[in-house]
Structure 1
Amino acid sequence: MGKKRSDKEEMVISAAIELFSKQGFFKTTVSEIADLAGVAKGTVYWYFDSKEELFQSILVNKLDDLQLELEKKIRVENSALEKLSEIIISYLKFYQEGKGVSKMFRECTTALGKEFFNDYIIDFNQRQIEIVAKVVEQAKEERVIESK
Structure 2
Amino acid sequence: MDAIEQRIDVIERRMDVLEHKVEALEQNAESVEQDIKQLNIRLGGMNEQMKQMVEWIVALEQKVKLSNQQFYEFQLMVENDIKHPVSMLCENVYPVSEGWIKNERRLTSLEENVGVIKVIVEKHGREIKNIKRMR
TM-score by length of 1: 0.24
Larger radius of gyration: 2
RCO higher in structure (CA 8 A, sep ≥6): 1
